[in-house]
Amino acid sequence: MDFNLAVIKGDGIGPEIVDEAIKVLNKIGEKYDHKFNFTYVKAGGDAIDNVGECLPKKTVEVCKNSDSVILGAVGGPKWDDLPGDQRPEKALLGIREALGLYANLRPAIIHKALSEACPIKKEIIGDSLDIMIVRELTGGIYFGQRGYRDGKYGNEAYDTESYSEMEIRRIGKIAFDTAMARDKKLCSVDKANVLESSRLWRKVITEMSKDYPEVELTHMYVDNAAMQLVRNPKQFDVIVTSNMFGDILSDEASQITGSIGMLPSASLGENSFGMYEPIHGSAPDIAGKDMANPIATILSMAMMLRYTFNLNKEADDIENAVAQVLDKGYRTVDIKSEDTKEVGTKEMGRLIVECL
């Protein structure tokens, strides 16, 4: 099969980690007789410096016309002093909106070989964890009206959180379907004791559960969820929540794994179209030094093969190759521990390709 992929290498370590991910894809292509065609486009700081805006029209067009998008990482201190609407992060929000990527899937997984890195005590975490956080990504307070207006205490800055039934239903469907393919437990997180949008969220998700009788649905307030992720993270299978709460809880959960350099993500739109990227940032301090961990990006390719192209065997292959390399004791510096062999970005990529 032929696949057309738009590639945004981005800033900092973005280019290096994407290069390794592409080698992995090409190897999968060889092995299974797929052809991956890559079109390189710019976004973030790279686009600001070279095109004068963080998300050029051409980038959006190429992405829209491709089968899937690969993103490295965007942003860095170099562009931190630009006004908010011209900063690299704006490219992220812009592309999510332009491509309609309403569902963010963020696994929080502890690989057995890396369980020592987990900041939570062994009694609580054991040696594994496997949570999938499904975050709504194009609605809520991220995309509502905002600005200044006259308020109770004079001029005030405001932002609007809002959800329609349609938006809740479509993210709910992804969440229930995800739960069905896993341990059939779904926890919907909201703040229904305060927010109107959360009350609608809870109502719609509860209604939907009738169509998924096998899924055990629970509801949890966001403050409690933030506690439970620390107290007993293993109680969770799939979590579904709003854009803002998902931003916070998915980062908390990823930190609980202790290995942020390992975590991939998928942002899905209609018809399985998706953008795939590591959850970590652009790490400008180690950029260009062959030190970055490419595994999160490589595992994002596995998610792409699985979610957008339905190539489960190929996805399994990548995940197994990563596990093998870890089992052999190879580590980039961010995940290194005693008795392991430190390798650079390129060598880590090569080792994974070799295992394929």
- In the annotated binding site for NAD(+), the residues are 76-89, 281-293
Residue 154 binding: pick among ligand IPM, a copy of itself, none (C-beta 5-8 Å cut-off by kind): a copy of itself
Q: Nearest approach, Cβ of 273 to ligand IPM (angstroms)? A: 18
Give bridge partners of residue 297 from the DSSP assignment.
none
Per CB under 6 A, which region of 57-65, 86-94, 117-125, 283-291 contacts ligand IPM? 86-94
Instruction: Report how far residue 273's alpha carbon sits from residue 254's, in angstroms, rounded to the nearest whole number.
Output: 24
- Determine if 93 is a binding residue for ligand IPM (CB under 6 A): yes
- Determine if 227 is a binding residue for ligand IPM (CB under 6 A): no
* Nearer to a copy of itself among residue 94 and residue 344 (C-beta): 94
Q: Nearest approach, Cβ of 57 to a copy of itself (angstroms)? A: 22
Structure tokens given for 219: 């509801």
Instruction: Report how far residue 234's alpha carbon sits from residue 255's, in angstroms, rounded to the nearest whole number.
Output: 14
Structure tokens given for 280: 């970590």
- Determine if 120 is a binding residue for a copy of itself (CB under 8 A): yes
* Nearer to ligand IPM among residue 280 and residue 306 (C-beta): 280
CB 125 within 8 A of CB 115: yes
Site string for ligand IPM, 186-215 (x = CB under 6 A): -------xx---------------------
Instruction: Report how far residue 326's alpha carbon sits from residue 246's, in angstroms, rounded to the nearest whole number.
Output: 29
Task: Assign 45 to helix, strand or coil.
Answer: helix
Element (H, E) at 36: strand 35-41
Cβ-count burial of 147 within 10 angstroms (0-12 exposed, 13-18 middle, 19+ buried)?
exposed
Catalytic residues, which ones? 142, 191, 223, 247, 251
- Determine if 226 is a binding residue for ligand IPM (CB under 6 A): no
Cα–Cα distances in angstroms (integers) from residue 205 to residues 168, 202, 244, in the given order = 7, 5, 18
* Nearer to ligand IPM among residue 172 and residue 278 (C-beta): 278
Structure tokens given for 259: 């290995």
Please, which of residues 138-167 interact with ligand IPM by CB under 6 A? Answer: none
- Determine if 271 is a binding residue for ligand IPM (CB under 6 A): no
Cα angle, residue 228 at apex, residues 226 and 229 outer, rounded to 5°: 70
Per CB under 6 A, which region of 37-45, 87-95, 164-172, 252-260 contacts ligand IPM? 87-95
Name the residues that contact ligand IPM, by CB under 6 A: 89, 92-93, 193-194, 223, 247
